[in-house]
Amino acid sequence: MNHETLLIGFLVAMVFHELTGIYPGGIVVPAYLALYAGEPARLAGTAAAAAVGLGAYRLLSTRLLLFGRRRFFVLVTVSGLAALASGLTFPAFLPEAAGWRAVGIVVPGLLADSCRKQGALVTGAAACTAMTATYLLSRLVLSW
């Protein structure tokens, strides 16, 4: 894990939020996505796990009172379980799709929470922009 990339990602996420008022999926999400920018299947797996978590939340919220910490807990837990499931099932049943596992366990949940607040398109565009800026800045800084 590249600690400099994580620090740059935190700074990029904070500056991005201050300039636009949009969270790029949370403060840590662009940093972790930038670490795997060369593996688009992992990025897609992360987005899929976040979508599963958001969909499950929307189904559960019709039957349960989910607000505040409960809502966040459900989003992070279900997205994390989807991320774990993708890491266990894809390599076992489809060896050629082993790269489709998610980045981390918490990252999809943070992404799902931001998608719930801001919408998937806005959050996705913001996360991609911040991830790209983080990746490019980290390559520039680390090449010195």
Query: Are 30 and 104 within 8 A, CB to CB?
Result: no
Confidence check: pLDDT of 95 > 80: no
* C-alpha dist (Å) from residue 48 to 12, 30, 76: 24, 16, 13
Confidence check: pLDDT of 98 > 90: no
pTM of the model: 0.89
pLDDT (average), residues 121-143: 95
Percent of the chain past pLDDT 70, that is, above it, reads: 94
Give the mean pLDDT of the chain.
91
